């Protein structure tokens, strides 16, 4: 591997040349896509004509069906023509490209997997047209100039390097899915008392309650009972819409927690909106603080909750937010927030909500919903187990994010010749 560090205004380094597409290695060529890997519209296949078989049918969004015959021999590179634009699919079996897709008709002795990464790199969405269903015009793509390595061997090495990191990404995705499934199973057992941690083993058996079978030493509590009675407005909703208008928004000040910020078990930090300190003081009953739980009155899903982060000293809730400040003398915040987001509570919230398309639940209905509660020490022990699992998943997700970023950098360097694999 021979790295070359290039900037737009630096002198042309040895081994490189200036071209229509910028600096490229001396031995690379600039060609139009139509002369490297031309695209053709796929073939009609109505659902009524589909006959189940072994050959994948590749649509704009990938393989979703199998047919008893094929139109194109593998390997193949397919992308969307209408509908889903920008996804590129590599096909290892003989296949049927659907008429919603475009397929590479000739690789002209280029390495197929290299062509796959090349198409992923060139951002096909910029060639879209149409105000309704987006459409990709292959003729627009065909005129694009691209720099390509001179030998199939170098293309193969580039494809192999990118395939390796794709395999790592896939393995991380599979591991994260597996860990999430394990956590869900563990939650279901621990939050219902079906499994007791060491030191909290069953001594008295189980009892039937309005929320199902729970251990004898557990209690059923209403959500409103969880709130800290020593704090003002510990269980309250956000302001009426007329009390917080768009004219009250500012570029800084007190941050407003919007529905977009309330994730299903996570605070989503991407969306930021502010109001003035004076407006937040005016709506003091609707303020919420780090460590509190905020629930959403609206789906999807309804009554989802997250813990308010400590980015700021206080926040203002949106009209569809609900504050729950947990009484930590008797309840563990993480345990309660986990139960709220579990099927144990979620199903009850959905049944108590209104609306056929988008569910909505009120403060009164939420206040009376019930949940199982062991004593505080067992809550803490359960919370510790689930927190450890969360931290492991978060670590894997961060690693996955960084690996994806590395892949993007590799594609940029390898597919432009800034780094050579020779």
**Nearest CA among 97, 91, 113 for reference residue 60:** 97
> In the chain, what percentage of residues exceed pLDDT 70?
97
Look at phi and psi of residue 357 and say left if phi exceeds 0, alpha if psi is from -120 to 50, else beta: alpha
Give the rounded distance of the alpha carbon of 388 from its chain centre: 21
Give tens-digit pLDDT for 174-213.
999 999 999 999 999 999 999 999 988 877 789 999 999 9
Structure tokens at 306: 């997250």
Domain ranges for the chain, please list them. Answer: 29-148, 219-373
Superfamily classification of domain 219-373: DNA methylase specificity domains (3.90.220.20)
CA–CA separation, 204 and 331 (whole Å): 22
Give the rounded distance of the alpha carbon of 302 from its chain centre: 19
Task: Say which residues have a Cβ less than 8 Å from residue 328's Cβ, sequence separation at least 6.
Answer: 228
Beta bridge partners of 89: 78
Give tens-digit pLDDT for 208-239.
999 999 999 999 999 999 999 999 999 999 99
Give me the residue label for tokens 């979703």.
64
Burial class (CB in 10 A: 0-12, 13-18, 19+), 240: exposed
> In the chain, what percentage of residues exceed pLDDT 90?
86
**Nearest CA among 366, 364, 234 for reference residue 288:** 234
Q: Please determine, looking at this structure, whether the domain spanning 29-148 carries the CATH number 1.10.8.60.
A: no
Band (378; pLDDT cuts 50, 70, 90)? very high
9 or 414, which is more confident: 414
Give tens-digit pLDDT for 30-47.
999 999 999 999 999 999
Asked if residue 10 has pLDDT above 80, the reply is no
- E strands within 22-100? 22-25, 29-32, 39-41, 55-59, 62-67, 76-80, 88-91, 96-97
Structure tokens at 113: 């997997």
């Amino acid at each position: 591997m021979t790295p070359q560090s290039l900037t737009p205004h630096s002198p042309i380094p040895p081994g490189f040349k200036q071209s229509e597409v910028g600096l490229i290695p001396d031995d690379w060529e600039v060609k139009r896509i139509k002369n490297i890997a031309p695209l053709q519209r796929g073939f009609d296949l109505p659902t009524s004509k589909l006959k189940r078989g072994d050959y994948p049918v590749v649509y704009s969004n990938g393989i979703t069906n199998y047919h008893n015959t094929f139109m194109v021999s593998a390997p193949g590179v397919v992308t969307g023509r209408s509908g889903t634009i920008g996804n590129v699919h590599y096909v290892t079996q003989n296949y049927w490209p659907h008429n919603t897709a475009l397929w590479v008709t000739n690789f002209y002795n280029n390495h197929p997997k290299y062509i796959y990464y090349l198409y992923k790199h060139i951002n096909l969405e910029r060639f879209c047209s149409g105000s309704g269903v987006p459409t990709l015009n292959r003729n627009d793509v065909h005129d694009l100039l691209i720099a390509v390595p001179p030998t199939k061997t170098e293309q193969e090495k580039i494809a192999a390097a990118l395939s390796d990191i794709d395999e790592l990404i896939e393995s991380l995705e599979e591991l994260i899915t597996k860990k999430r499934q394990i956590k869900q199973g563990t939650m279901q057992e621990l939050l219902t008392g079906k499994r007791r941690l060491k030191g909290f083993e069953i001594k008295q058996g189980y009892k039937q309650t309005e929320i199902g079978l729970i251990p004898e030493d557990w209690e059923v509590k209403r959500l409103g009972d969880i709130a800290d009675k020593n704090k003002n407005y510990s269980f309250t909703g956000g302001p009426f819409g007329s009390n917080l208008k768009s004219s009250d928004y500012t570029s800084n000040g007190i941050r407003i927690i919007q529905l977009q910020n309330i994730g299903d078990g996570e605070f989503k930090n991407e969306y930021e909106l502010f109001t003035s300190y004076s407006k937040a003081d005016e709506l003091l009953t609707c303020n919420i603080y780090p460590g509190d739980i905020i629930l959403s009155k609206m789906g999807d899903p309804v009554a989802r909750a997250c813990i308010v982060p400590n980015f700021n000293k206080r926040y203002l809730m949106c009209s569809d937010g609900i504050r729950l400040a947990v009484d930590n003398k008797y309840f563990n915040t993480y345990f309660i927030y986990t139960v709220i987001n579990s099927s144990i509570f979620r199903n009850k919230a959905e049944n108590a909500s209104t609306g056929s398309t988008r569910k909505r639940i009120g403060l009164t209905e939420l206040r009376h919903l019930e949940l199982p509660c062991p004593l505080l020490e067992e809550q803490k022990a359960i919370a510790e187990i689930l927190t450890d699992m969360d931290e492991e998943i978060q670590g894997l997700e961060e690693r996955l994010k960084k690996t994806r970023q590395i892949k993007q950098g590799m594609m940029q360097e390898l597919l432009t010749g800034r780094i050579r694999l020779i």
